[in-house]
Structure 1
Amino acid sequence: MTQPGAVVDWLLDSDPSIRWQVMRDLLDAPEPEWSLERAAVEMQGWGARLLACEDADGQWAGGAFLPRGFEYHEWQQVGQPWTATTFSLSQLREFGLDPASERARRAVELIGANSRWEHDGQPYWEGEVEECINGRTVADGAYFGVDVSAIVGRLVGERLADGGWNCERANGSARSSFASTINVLEGLLEYEAATGGTPESREARMSGEEYLLERSLFRRLSTGEPADERFLSFLHPNRWRYDVLRALDYFRAAAALTGAAPDPRLDEAVEHVRSRRQADGTWPLDWRLPGRVWFEMDGEVGEPSRWITLRAARVLRWFRTPA
């Protein structure tokens, strides 16, 4: 698998959720072709498996952020669980489930009627209090056609002085974090794609981008050292976690919406992604988050990863041939 065509064939020999994105982002297939493949997400493979896990009330695992009956000793001993509604919806969005499909519309409506955040019983589509959670809720809601403008307004008002966000703001943090910022940015971008955004949300999104760009996507502004070595390792699914590949894929998606050229301050992160490509043209899964899942979607840690290879390949393709 040393030729680009062989890597693409390997990616296509996969789940519909990967195939349609390969067709769109790496092969420039006409929209009717990749849309037909995207429609298969609802009926086949990982998308169908995850939809089959949905509860009768529209939730997953009986809870908004946590499974029903979850006890915190599991988080301490095993890891954070990833089966509840918020993470399942985000996964379906990543798969590309058609928001106009009957299953998607039904889930969104039932979640609005039945799901409440564990924090204080807030209705699901009104959001919680934590910026990471609300950023993902905005992304999912905007993608699936929900009016999340009230949550967007709160996130805009919760931006910190350095331009980004931190989910510990309510506990006194005055400095932004990479992870909170990317979660909010992805939400604001999805909101902008769905609605055009507002002047305030667009300005906030640009300031969050600047927060990351000033730090070359992974460095401390104060010392220039990596803020976290794991930012340079690639995982999937990211859930709320940050790495430079996730950030680069965000900037690629933002450029597709706005037509912006790649910022030179992305160069170092792009070169890091390029340097991680293996001799066979793939990228490996460096690590995986512990915790309860519905099912695994990629190979073992250290093995070639289709998800990471897809994301890395389309980032490099965009960076070489910007719109």
Structure 2
Amino acid sequence: MTARRLNPKGERGVTETAVLWPGSLSRMALDPALLNWLVDSDPALRWQVERDLVGAPREVWGATRARIATEGFGARLLALQDPDGQWAGGSYFPKDFDFHGPEAAEGGGQPWTATTWTLNSLRDWGLDAAVLAGTADLLAMNSRWEYDDLPYWGGEVDCCINAYTLANGAWLGADVSGIAQWFLDHRMADGGWNCEWVEGSTRSSFHSTLNSLKGMLYYEAATGGSDALRAARQGGEEYLLERRLLRTLSTTELVGPWATQFAYPFRWSYSVLKAADYFRAAALHDGTAPDPRLVDAIEVIRAARSSDGTWLQDRRYPGRVWFEVDVPPGEPSKWLTFYGTRVLAWWDATIT
């Protein structure tokens, strides 16, 4: 048969129907039109749709995943790598970034083109680390942090930057065990982390804690981690769970408007969708059921879904990019729709 699919403007068109494999989420819940719209994507997204929503066998989604290195978003980023292993000539900021110029002014936006942000994208998209063979050594030789000229794989003082580096190092095979220990040494008394600790902050941050947890989970999955790091990760999860992923502990008010604003790429900013996706990954890693305290966040995610099953892009984070990988604000986002659908399917399948 043929199925109708959504195009990026939400209109309907006709395309071939995606194969629905036995046990796929699409057999249980997804509109074939929505599924085909998601499958018609860059390999960086398509392989994840095939694996997690379509239920395709490994040889199918694995073949799509391998294409990341040779076509689409992944290939474009790989082609932009500098001979010294970096991107844009810098670790966290481009080499030409003027910290006193208009780009650094209020509202100018963090540039997203330098090495760390590019590695984050390639890793999140599922690029095989073997494609970047030698990059870890090149960065060890050539890349230094803008903060105090510290060596790249040693990390620096910002917990979000260290979380990205912890995950990227584990992915590329660098020794980042010192950064893993850093998270044990810099955990706040209330259970989480805050990038502003160096400025004297003593309370954890939603943004910093979630980014720290994501890096620690990736490191643990890749290397086995340690009992101490696992306990710290689970304690950080408790910090967010106590606050229902979106409320202050003292007043139970919404922690900030950003908590319910969804945007892809996720960047450093917190949202309940990004957090719920993390808790899904952590539960699958730990072999545990979803925590019931996620329910408020899940309902926020469910309420944001449009009648056609899509989630709209709420915003774009300002700042220089190599190229756009998702739609402008107000349009249906394939990336957000994938994450929202996957989170709700996981929750509904295990809670009800």
TM-score by length of structure 1 reads 0.96
Shift of 1:179: 0.5
Stretches of structure 1 lacking an aligned partner (at least 5 in a row): none
Shift of 1:136: 1.1
> Which structure has the larger Rg over C-alpha atoms?
2
CA contact (8 A) 1:126 1:151 kept: yes
5 Å-filtered alignment, 1:1-323, equals: 1=5, 4-72=31-99, 73=101, 74-76=103-105, 78-101=108-131, 104-322=132-350
* In structure 1, C-alpha distance between the alignment counterparts of 2:328 and 2:176, rounded to whole Å: 37
CA contact (8 A) 1:61 1:84 kept: yes
* In structure 1, C-alpha distance between the alignment counterparts of 2:43 and 2:162, rounded to whole Å: 28
What percentage of residue pairs aligned between the two structures are identical? 54
CA contact (8 A) 2:265 2:326 kept: no
Shift of 1:97: 0.6
Q: What is the DSSP-based 3-state SS (H/G/I as helix, E as strand, rest coil) of the residue aligned with 1:322?
A: helix
* In structure 1, C-alpha distance between the alignment counterparts of 2:137 and 2:32, rounded to whole Å: 42
* In structure 1, C-alpha distance between the alignment counterparts of 2:280 and 2:233, rounded to whole Å: 14
Shift of 1:107: 2.4
* Deviation by residue 1:58-94 (Cα, 9 ceiling, x = unmatched): 1000000111121122121621111110101001111
Question: 2:26 maps to what in 1?
Answer: none
RMSD value over aligned CA atoms?
A: 1.3
Shift of 1:32: 2.1
Shift of 1:146: 2.1
* In structure 2, C-alpha distance between the alignment counterparts of 1:255 and 1:30, rounded to whole Å: 22
* Deviation by residue 1:131-170 (Cα, 9 ceiling, x = unmatched): 1110111111112222211101011110001100001111
Q: What is the DSSP-based 3-state SS (H/G/I as helix, E as strand, rest coil) of the residue aligned with 2:145?
A: coil
Shift of 1:39: 0.6
TM-score by length of structure 2 reads 0.89
Shift of 1:268: 0.7
Question: What is the aligned length?
Answer: 321
Structure 1 residue runs of 4 or more that deviate by more than 3 Å after TM superposition: none
CA contact (8 A) 1:167 1:180 kept: yes
Moved more, 268-277 or 135-144: 135-144
| Equivalent position amino acid for 1:71 in 2 | D
* In structure 2, C-alpha distance between the alignment counterparts of 1:53 and 1:269, rounded to whole Å: 38
| Equivalent position amino acid for 1:233 in 2 | Q
* Deviation by residue 1:221-249 (Cα, 9 ceiling, x = unmatched): 01000111111010111211110000000
Stretches of structure 2 lacking an aligned partner (at least 5 in a row): 7-29
Q: Which has the higher contact order (CA 8 A, sep 6+)?
A: 1
| Equivalent position amino acid for 1:8 in 2 | L
* In structure 1, C-alpha distance between the alignment counterparts of 2:117 and 2:216, rounded to whole Å: 18
CA contact (8 A) 2:313 2:328 kept: yes
| Equivalent position amino acid for 1:81 in 2 | P
